[in-house]
Amino acid sequence: MSEDLQISYACPHYLRYERVGLQNSIYIIPASPINGEGLVVIRRDGVVLEPQGNYREATITTPNVSPFRVRSTSNVLTITTTEGYSNTITLPSKIYKSKTLISEIQSQIGAIIVEETTSKALRFSDRKLGIGFTLTGSLLKALGFKKQKQVIKTKKSTPAWGLVSRLNGHDIQFKSRLEPEGLLEISYTTEKRYCRRCGGTGVENDFRFGTDGDIQKIQDTDLLYQNIAKTLLTEIGSNPYHAWYGSNANRLIGKKNNASVGVALRMSVQQALDKLQKIQQDLKRVQYLSQEERLMSVQSVEVSTLNNNATALLCNVVVRSGANRQVSVNIVFEVPGSISLDGSLT
- Span 116-154, pLDDT tens digits: 999 999 999 988 777 889 999 999 999 999 999 999 998
Whether residue 84 is found in the same domain as residue 184: no
Residues pairing with 43 in the sheet:
48, 185
pLDDT score, position 330: 84
Q: Select the more confidently predicted residue: 265 or 94.
A: 94
* pLDDT surpassing 70 at residue 254: no
What is the average pLDDT score of the chain? 88
On whether both 328 and 242 belong to a single domain, the answer is yes
Secondary structure class of 202 (helix, strand, coil): coil
Check whether residue 173 and residue 45 sit in a common domain.
yes
Phi and psi at residue 283, to the nearest 5°: -70, -35
Q: What CATH code is carried by the domain that includes residue 97?
A: 2.60.40
pLDDT for res 271? 92
CA 308 to centroid of chain Cα atoms: 35
Lowest mean pLDDT among 56-60, 198-202, 235-239: 198-202
| Residue 43: CB atoms within 10 Å | 15
Alpha helices in the chain (DSSP H): 98-108, 139-142, 220-233, 249-252, 259-283
pLDDT above 90 (res 255): no
336 SS3 class: coil
Indicate the Cα dihedral angle 338, 296, 292, 330, nearest 10°: 20
Strand pairing partners for 344?
A: 328
pLDDT at 311: 66
- pLDDT for the residue numbered 156: 87
Q: Please state the domain count of the chain.
A: 3
* pLDDT tens column, 18-69: 999 999 999 999 999 999 878 999 999 999 999 999 988 899 999 999 999 9
Residue 86 in 3-state DSSP? Answer: strand
Same domain, 253 and 331: yes
The mean per-residue pLDDT over the stretch 250-275 comes to 80
pLDDT at residue 207, rounded to an integer:
85
- Residues 163 and 303 both lie in one domain: no
> Residue 4 domain-assigned?
no
Q: Residues 101, 87: contact at Cβ < 8 Å?
A: no
pLDDT at 129: 77
79 part of a folded domain: yes
Cα-based distances in Å from 217 to 66, 112, 240, 280: 58, 48, 25, 19
CA dihedral 100, 101, 102, 103 (to 10 degrees): 50
Cα–Cα distance for residue pair 26/100, rounded to 1 Å: 48
With beta carbons less than 8 A apart as the criterion, state whether 301 and 315 touch: yes
Let me know if 227 is exposed, middle or buried by CB neighbors in 10 A (0-12, 13-18, 19+).
buried
**pLDDT at residue 24, rounded to an integer:** 93
Cis peptide bond upstream of 336, omega within 30: yes
Residues 336 and 223 in one domain: yes
321 bridge partner residues: 295
Kindly tell me if the per-residue pLDDT of 335 is higher than 60.
no
Residue 215 φ/ψ, nearest 5 degrees: -70, 140
Q: Based on the domain organization, do 228 and 335 belong to the same domain?
A: yes
Same domain flag for 111 and 135: yes
Domain assignment present for residue 8? The answer is no
Q: What is the pTM of this model?
A: 0.63
Chain centroid to CA 88: how far? Answer: 44
Residue 88 has pLDDT above 50, yes or no: yes
296-319 pLDDT, tens digit each: 999 999 888 766 666 677 889 999
**Which residues share a beta bridge with 28?**
172
**Domain check: are 147 and 117 in the same one?**
yes
Is residue 223 assigned to a domain?
yes
Work out the pLDDT band at 346, boundaries 50, 70, 90. Answer: very low
Question: 134 and 79 in contact (C-beta within 8 Å)?
Answer: yes
Q: What is the CA radius of gyration of the chain?
A: 33
Q: Are residues 288 and 323 in the same domain?
A: yes
pLDDT of 257 strictly over 70: no
Using N-to-C axis directions, what is the helix angle for 259-283 and 220-233, rounded to 10°? 130
Domain range for 112 is 57-154
H helices, E strands: number in the chain: 5, 27
Distance of alpha carbon 218 from the chain centroid:
22
Q: Cα-flanking dihedrals φ and ψ of residue 334, to 5°?
A: -150, 165
Q: What is the pLDDT of residue 220?
A: 92
> Which of 69-83, 176-190, 260-274 has the least mean pLDDT?
260-274
Q: For the segment 167-194, what is each residue's pLDDT rounded down to a tens digit?
A: 889 999 999 999 988 999 999 999 999 9
Q: What is the pLDDT of residue 343?
A: 47
Which CATH number goes with the domain that contains 240?
3.10.450.40
Q: What is the pLDDT of residue 334?
A: 67
